[in-house]
Structure 1
Amino acid sequence: MKLSDHITVAVPLRISFAGGGTDLPIFYKRRIGSVLNTSINKYIYITVKKQNVLFGASYRLNYSDTEIVEDISQIKNDIARECLKLLPVPPPLYISTIADLPASSGLGSSSSFAVGLLKSLHMLRGETVDVMQIAEEACEVEMYRLNRPTGKQDAYAAACGGMNIFRFFPDESVRCIPVVSDQNRLNFFFSHLLMFWTGITRDASKILSDQTQSIDQKFSTLCEMADQVDILHRITKSSFCPIEIGAILHRNWVMKKKLSTLISSPKIDQWYQLAKDAGAYGGKICGAGGGGFLVFLAPIKAHDSIRLALSELIEIKINYEEDGVQNISSFSR
């Protein structure tokens, strides 16, 4: 079989509903971490192409910057560099990426990029691997090779897709538990969601580093946040009631803010309260916090009131995505 030499993959972004922070090693090394999240219909697209030698460079990368280098060690993009070290492919090589939404906004985009690039490199090497292995490799790149203070949930959400509970065990193993629900119930749930762009990008590493300081004082809060996952799971298996889920989102938001003063701000708190006053059941800042996207669960009849209350923000329409990382184009010449 002839190997592909031009591959494009699509990788979904994600929203976490409960348990964020318990996917960090500082927690799951002491107690099993639990997160419930879902992939959404917003993506990062990665193209990897074996380049013609006539272009005269070993590696060309196009993202928000352009890099043209001769050696992997010269690549400034940390994730691309370490993925190529982990899964070497003979140069010359071209890598490009484009996204539906901005980076550093709390939707797991860096892990989605790692998952998509690793999937593409495996395909170039003629290797078929399961999504759990790709997620594990993405965690290896971000958490251990780059030593970033990030958790595991983003990589697994991007690789697996759908709405899932992920359990993170002290021995580094991960279990994926799909949240079983038919499409009609998922459509009903997502019809109650609103997402707004705050216009604020932030460095998640700083927030997560601050969150892990004095962990003994915060451990009981994280345990309570992990327990919310099973409560939320029971609701999704029965009523999928937006009011009950919204109450859990609000409870998690209140607990999350206790972990670091960097998670929220007076402006974010103001926006959140405006949405609550306009009828939202509950909500959260996506990801580590500090900016990015605000998500609210609210009765459909209150949506227009919430949009009016948050008119200075940009609404982004979202829906459910069942699939994780997908090969959308591959061919050989």
Structure 2
Amino acid sequence: MIVRARAPLRLGLAGGGTDVSPYCDQYGGFVMNAAIDRFAYATVDEAPGGAAEFVSLDNDVRCCWSPEGLDKAPPSLRLLVGVYARICMQFLDGRHPPIRIRTYSDAPPGSGLGSSSTLVVALVAALCEFFALPLGEYEIAHLAYSIEREDLALAGGKQDQYAAAFGGVNFMEFHAGDRVIVNPLRIKDWVLAELEASLVLYFTGVSRESARIIDEQVRNAASGAHDSVSAMHQLKFEAVQMKEALLKGDLDAFARTLQKGWEAKKRMASSVSNPVIDAVEAVAVTHGARATKVSGAGGGGFMMFVCDPTDRVRLSRALQHQGGQVMDFHFNPQGAVAWRAGR
């Protein structure tokens, strides 16, 4: 039997960072995000040998299961081994079936599109299908979050797992006690079409380590650093403003909110922006960009720009000369999906 799964990557539109503890536990967090048609993929079948096998096709790395588990896995395979170990412990009474897990992604780790968490969601969905585990979207997202944050001790928030599990455009609420509410938005087709035509997604070529940036943000929130906490309050408020702008089809308000959110995000941690990002933003503004934002924790990865659709070509050409790559995309209404493939 062969099982495949895919989960969509996402654009963080507003409120990113307010889904990270301790801020969301103390104040509650609001996030706006949208899934796109770029994915993380997982394939599960029977291992050709007698032990479970893990393969990262992106990195051309493989290893087999060992009793030491996570501690002995290569860094590029820790997510795969971590998901397998948790599924075996929680649902298979500690048995370790000889299966092969292979993964790849449309975006590199550190891209700012939630690629690592999306890969974990795709893995969980694939193993749920393979072992016939009856988990819904909330359960898959929470399990993925628990594996990353607890089992693997990776810093980060909660929005990526829920965006990957649910898909679509969502307003998400994050509260104390791991309580999460996903509110899918019914946005008119013409608004989504205009938004797609107005957004330019650009990969800087600089992959950043989100954990380091998030650690700084967590320290600022825990210590009550006034400027950082005030910025998070502003981001939370702007998630509500963006929700209203999209529901009403007010793309001018969307652009203003995106830019205000970027300015507030830069106050959350010193490493959110850097000279490379600042230089790209300056070029974009002179070629028609009305708003800028870095997707994810910041520091690099993907940047997105809002422009008039008639400025899209000249903006894209100017960005290509900055050494990165413009990536086309469409919004994706579907969340994580798994299926059984014929031989």
TM bucket, shorter chain? over 0.9
Check whether the contact 1:280–1:296 (CA below 8 A) recurs between aligned residues. Answer: yes
Check whether the contact 1:264–1:290 (CA below 8 A) recurs between aligned residues. Answer: yes
Corresponding position of 2:314 = 305
Question: 1:281 Cα deviation (Å)?
Answer: 1.6
| Ranges of 4+ aligned residues in structure 1 off by more than 3 Å | none
Residue 118 of structure 2 corresponds to residue 112 of structure 1: yes
Corresponding position of 1:247 = 256
Q: Distance in 2 between matches of 1:62 and 1:143?
A: 21
Question: 1:102 Cα deviation (Å)?
Answer: 1.9
CA RMSD of aligned residues (A): 1.6
Check whether the contact 1:242–1:298 (CA below 8 A) recurs between aligned residues. Answer: no
Corresponding position of 2:30 = 34
Q: Distance in 2 between matches of 1:66 and 1:305?
A: 40
Question: 1:128 Cα deviation (Å)?
Answer: 2.1
Counterpart amino acid of residue 228 in structure 1: E
Check whether the contact 1:21–1:151 (CA below 8 A) recurs between aligned residues. Answer: yes
Deviates more, 1:253-262 or 1:153-162: 253-262
Q: Deviations over 1:229-281 (max 9, x none)?
A: 1111111111x222211111111111111111211111211111221222212
Residue 183 of structure 2 corresponds to residue 187 of structure 1: no
Residue 24 of structure 2 corresponds to residue 9 of structure 1: no
Residues 70 and 146 (structure 1), Cα distance of their counterparts in 2 relative to 1, 3 Å cut = closer
Equivalent position to 1:69, from 39, 49, 64: 64
Residue 218 of structure 2 corresponds to residue 209 of structure 1: no
Check whether the contact 1:198–1:291 (CA below 8 A) recurs between aligned residues. Answer: yes
Equivalent position to 2:127, from 121, 124, 127: 121
Q: Distance in 2 between matches of 1:223 and 1:156?
A: 21
Residue 17 of structure 2 corresponds to residue 21 of structure 1: yes
Q: Distance in 1 between matches of 2:268 and 2:340?
A: 44
Corresponding position of 2:337 = 326
Corresponding position of 1:237 = 247
Residue 314 of structure 2 corresponds to residue 288 of structure 1: no
Counterpart amino acid of residue 41 in structure 1: D
Check whether the contact 2:191–2:246 (CA below 8 A) recurs between aligned residues. Answer: no
> How many correspondences in the alignment?
325
Q: Distance in 1 between matches of 2:31 and 2:52?
A: 40
Corresponding position of 2:285 = 276
Counterpart amino acid of residue 229 in structure 2: F
Check whether the contact 2:284–2:315 (CA below 8 A) recurs between aligned residues. Answer: yes
Question: 1:56 Cα deviation (Å)?
Answer: 4.3
Counterpart amino acid of residue 67 in structure 1: R
Question: 1:331 Cα deviation (Å)?
Answer: 4.2
Check whether the contact 2:54–2:81 (CA below 8 A) recurs between aligned residues. Answer: no
Corresponding position of 1:174 = 180
* SS class of match (2:176): coil
Counterpart amino acid of residue 23 in structure 1: D
Residue 59 of structure 2 corresponds to residue 59 of structure 1: no
Identify, as 1 or 2, the structure richer in helix.
2
Q: Distance in 1 between matches of 2:129 and 2:313?
A: 46
Structure 2, unaligned stretches of length 5 or more? none
Q: Distance in 2 between matches of 1:113 and 1:102?
A: 11
Q: Distance in 1 between matches of 2:258 and 2:42?
A: 32
* SS class of match (1:281): strand
Residues 146 and 254 (structure 1), Cα distance of their counterparts in 2 relative to 1, 3 Å cut = same
Check whether the contact 1:164–1:179 (CA below 8 A) recurs between aligned residues. Answer: yes
Counterpart amino acid of residue 274 in structure 2: S
Q: Deviations over 1:170-196 (max 9, x none)?
A: 121100111111323211211111011
Fraction of identical pairs, as percent:
26
Residue 84 of structure 2 corresponds to residue 84 of structure 1: yes
Q: Distance in 2 between matches of 1:287 and 1:28?
A: 17
Equivalent position to 1:45, from 41, 45, 55: 41
